[in-house]
Chains A and B, each alone.
Chain A
Amino acid sequence: MSRSFFRTETILALTIVVMSIYIGIVNPVFFTVGNLFDLLRSSIVMGIFAMGVLLVIISGGIDVSFTAVAVFAQYATVRLMTIFMPEAPLWIVFLVAGIIGLGLGMINAFFISRFKLPTLIVTLGTLSMFHGFLLFAIGNKIIRDIPPSMPEFARTSLIEVAMTVGVSRLHPAVLITVAVAILTWLLLDFTMLGRGIYALGGSREAAERAGFNIPRIQYFIYGTVGFLAGIGGIIYASLNRQANPQELVGSELNVIAAVVLGGASLTGGRGTVIGSLLGVALVVIMNNSLVLIGVPSTWQRVVVGAIILIGTGLPAIQARRKAQHAAGLSQTQ
């Protein structure tokens, strides 16, 4: 839509292309179908989380609790299923996890909208609460005996390509990520609710005066984040064929960083689906492929951190320059 957005995304896409070419030259394995499918598989859950995070960030908030929500919904659902319905079909598993996630998201929304508390404080609190409650009251051991519909789902493939050694598969869950991304895009760009999210992030006061129902928008946002977290959690457990209550929590900043790299502003009001997806792609490529070019795994975190700092720092500096320029002009008025 606008030039500045377009530019963030173009730069990001170019960075990905240049990085891919470099990695591919150093290690041609990068350009194999197998590696591409692996990268896509690694992006499935992060991509879903990123869509939820994008909504929150555009609205001017931040949610760090979604990983706890994801692991809570995932683990609680698996436990419920193993006790009450071991043969549960996949859609029931997804539905239950989605509902649990939605419920937890609503708890966030309640504190944020009712008491007008800072979103970071609320979700930092609920991150600990949800995770602590899960480990204390629901269970802290890895469950490997998950409902069979989940590992079955893990074995399915959308595309199979025969390689010199074995077969490379693309998992159909990428379609879920694609669907979530398309729905998020339609929501943000073509519904009044979506425009309300942008409006809220741009100026809360003006949004109120215009007649947007701010609490309703907030319940929608944090509820959706919770729901998506639940779905992502189940996909994660399915692909790993186990429910581990210690996983996912701790990766929330990676997802937030990907969304911010994709041009979403932490001050709210801006961010796009396509940018966030590119951000996810960049982070996933860095996490998965630096090892291909011989960067020791301990250094990966440093490199990822540096790219996040540069990628989010440059637009911030640019924005400030622009603001100073504008201020310089208005001073002469």
Chain B
Amino acid sequence: MADEIIRLSNINKAFAGVKALQDVTLTIERGKIHCLVGENGCGKSTLIKIMAGVYQRDSGSVVINGKEFERLHPIDAIREGIQVIYQDFSLFPNLTVAENIALNEQLADGKRLVNWGNVRQVAEEALAQIEVRLPLNARVEEMSVASKQLIAISKALRQNAQLIIMDEPTSALTEREVRALFGVIHKLQARGIAFLFVSHKLNEVLEISQTIMVMRNGSNVSVGDRSEYDHKRLVFEMTGHTIGEKAYDFTPDTSRPPLLRVEKLNASGALEDINFDLYAGEIVGVTGLLGSGRTELALALFGMLPIQSGRLTMGGKPVQIRTIQDAIANGIGYVPEDRITEGLFLEQSIGRNVVVRTIDRLRGALGLTDVQEVNAQINEWVSALRIKTSDPALPVKTLSGGNQQRVVLAKWLASNPRVMILNGPTMGVDIGSKNELHEMIKDLAGKGMGLLVISDDIPELLQICNRILLMRRGRIVEEITPEQTDENQLAAKLIED
């Protein structure tokens, strides 16, 4: 067929004897948006790398634009118009927007000298193609994630991209940025450019795709037209079993003082007149757009953002939280969104990460730690949270995203907090792990902990929270209970200004 860009047939690939891909077949047509979904480790990245020529297949055939490639080199893939936008975007943070867009092209043309006028012109044209305006002379490191993505797309377009492969493009974008990205994708699609969209977010997959392919354990288990799929079927195909999630239906016991009461909380420029209660056993969602103050609220409660005025009461007693130490002493735990840089010591062992918060309590005589006690604690948490590892002495970085998140949780749970603040608890976590994390969060609430879950994953909020606080410009503008609303309504409220 003339309108096929790429056809992969019966691709097999093994690493050191372990099968990563088994008889995978995939066809992408010009101007179509194709989605690839699957849990972590299902072979999505391997497949992308084979299409980009980074990995060589063991067997199977690759036909691009009607040409069969015996061996596909990265340069062949680029010449045939296949562009991969990796999660790190492959941009130069220290160079300007214009140079980032034009550099690859200049290099590919074999230029030796830089014509700055030309660089600017190339960048302007590229951005005009996707109808986006960005400051050409700003450094890329000053740009938001969404802008970086647009820069990466413009760069790909300048190299005559016909198929743009995007790996988890929305994982760090806000709802509004996702809308803008989808707008750009549709514009380019109308010009005949095809997309392969790899994502965890099933709602987005269902919204943007025309064809869907689901992978599980290195095989494509299901391929079809968008109309054949819904959320349930996707989850089923990805995991191989149905996962039922019940909403968290809970009415707090208001006769006892709340675990945490926040009154008239103000933090300059970030939070204004914040009032809410968090009772034992509650899971309260906090949502809002970029800059709405949802993360600032967490930081303020955890002593990381100075509070100008307001009263905090915990269990009926007024408390002062000025530092992280104050927060911890009062039994508040915080799992940051960016677990990689803020929540974990990646090079250190899983075990050490688990006990780091409580190491003081494990000290015996002479101030030395009791190794047996420490190991007992580690093993207890590793099994309680079902962290999948062969040995807790391995570094945390060897774990998958979902398991890393469990280590962060374990670290905090080991110190027995009364109130836990979770910021984006399931970001970048695959659907199976996500459900397990949800169950874990509900379990904790069931044991009397109060949880504050900050997220913009609407289905997640509706499933696990008994109340949701909507923030806008530093204020809580509405309190919603999941029964009162549905996904679409909440999504609309979220982006409303």
Q: Which A residues have a C-beta under 8 Å from some C-beta of B?
A: 1-2, 4, 189-195, 198-199, 201-203, 205-207, 209-212, 268-270, 326-333
Whether B144 pairs with A330 at a CB distance below 8 angstroms is yes
Please measure, in the bound complex, the distance between the C-alpha atom of A192 and the C-alpha atom of B88, giving whole angstroms. 23
Nearest CB on A from B88, distance (A): 8
Name which of B100-108, B179-187, B217-225 contacts chain A. B100-108
Instruction: Let me know if B292 is at the binding interface, CB within 8 A.
Output: yes
7 A-B contacts (beta carbon < 8 Å): A2-B137, A195-B95, A209-B90, A212-B107, A326-B141, A329-B290, A333-B290
Instruction: Let me know if B374 is at the binding interface, CB within 8 A.
Output: no
Q: Known: A190-B113, A192-B111, A330-B144. Is A202-B93 also a contact (CB below 8 A)? A: yes
Most chain-B CB neighbours within 10 Å: which of A201, A211, A332? Answer: A332
Nearest residue (CB) in B for A194 is B114
Chain B residues positioned under 8 Å from A207 (CB to CB): 92
Within 8 A of A (CB), among B159-182: 172-174, 177
Nearest CB on A from B308, distance (A): 17
Count CB-based A-B contacts (< 8 Å): 94
Chain B residues positioned under 8 Å from A206 (CB to CB): 88, 90-92
Name which of B10-18, B232-240, B293-301, B410-418 contacts chain A. B293-301
Nearest CB on A from B238, distance (A): 25
Instruction: Let me know if B23 is at the binding interface, CB within 8 A.
Output: no
Nearest CB on B from A283, distance (A): 25
Q: Known: A202-B93, A202-B94. Is A332-B296 also a contact (CB below 8 A)? A: yes
Nearest residue (CB) in A for B140 is A202
Within 8 A of A (CB), among B281-307: 288-296, 299
Within 8 A of A (CB), among B315-349: 336-338
Most chain-B CB neighbours within 10 Å: which of A198, A201, A203, A333? Answer: A333
Please measure, in the bound complex, the distance between the C-alpha atom of A193 and the C-alpha atom of B107, giving whole angstroms. 10
Instruction: Let me know if B226 is at the binding interface, CB within 8 A.
Output: no
Please measure, in the bound complex, the distance between the C-alpha atom of A209 and the C-alpha atom of B296, giving whole angstroms. 37
Whether B92 pairs with A203 at a CB distance below 8 angstroms is yes
Whether A331 pairs with B337 at a CB distance below 8 angstroms is yes
Whether B114 pairs with A190 at a CB distance below 8 angstroms is yes
Q: Which B residues have a C-beta under 8 Å from some C-beta of A?
A: 88, 90-96, 99, 103-104, 106-108, 111-114, 137, 139, 141-142, 144-145, 172-174, 177, 288-296, 299, 336-338, 423
Chain A residues positioned under 8 Å from B177 (CB to CB): 333
Chain B residues positioned under 8 Å from A327 (CB to CB): 338
Most chain-B CB neighbours within 10 Å: which of A1, A207, A211? Answer: A211
Nearest CB on A from B146, distance (A): 8
Nearest CB on A from B367, distance (A): 33
Please measure, in the bound complex, the distance between the C-alpha atom of A194 and the C-alpha atom of B116, giving whole angstroms. 13
Nearest residue (CB) in B for A60 is B94
Kindly identify which residue among B92, B141, B295 contacts A199, using a CB–CB cutoff of 8 Å: B92
Interface residue SS majority, chain A: helix
Chain A residues positioned under 8 Å from B139 (CB to CB): 2, 4
Most chain-A CB neighbours within 10 Å: which of B93, B94, B111, B296? Answer: B94
Chain A residues positioned under 8 Å from B92 (CB to CB): 198-199, 202-203, 206-207, 269
Whether B106 pairs with A332 at a CB distance below 8 angstroms is no
A189-B114, A205-B90, A210-B107 given; 6 more Cβ-contact pairs under 8 Å? A192-B107, A206-B91, A209-B90, A269-B92, A328-B295, A333-B173
Please measure, in the bound complex, the distance between the C-alpha atom of A210 and the C-alpha atom of B141, giving whole angstroms. 18
Please measure, in the bound complex, the distance between the C-alpha atom of A331 and the C-alpha atom of B108, giving whole angstroms. 36
Q: Known: A207-B92, A209-B90, A269-B93. Is A333-B112 also a contact (CB below 8 A)? A: no
Q: Known: A203-B91, A328-B295. Is A333-B114 also a contact (CB below 8 A)? A: no
Please measure, in the bound complex, the distance between the C-alpha atom of A150 and the C-alpha atom of B407, giving whole angstroms. 68
Please measure, in the bound complex, the distance between the C-alpha atom of A212 and the C-alpha atom of B108, giving whole angstroms. 10
Whether A332 pairs with B292 at a CB distance below 8 angstroms is yes
Whether A329 pairs with B104 at a CB distance below 8 angstroms is no
Most chain-A CB neighbours within 10 Å: which of B92, B288, B290, B423? Answer: B92
Q: Known: A203-B91, A206-B92. Is A331-B336 also a contact (CB below 8 A)? A: yes
Please measure, in the bound complex, the distance between the C-alpha atom of A327 and the C-alpha atom of B172, giving whole angstroms. 12
Shortest 8 CB-CB contacts between residues of A and residues of B: A269-B94, A202-B92, A202-B94, A331-B295, A206-B90, A332-B295, A210-B104, A333-B174
Nearest CB on B from A328, distance (A): 7
Chain A residues positioned under 8 Å from B141 (CB to CB): 326
Kindly identify which residue among B94, B103, B107, B291 contacts A332, using a CB–CB cutoff of 8 Å: B291
Whether A329 pairs with B95 at a CB distance below 8 angstroms is no
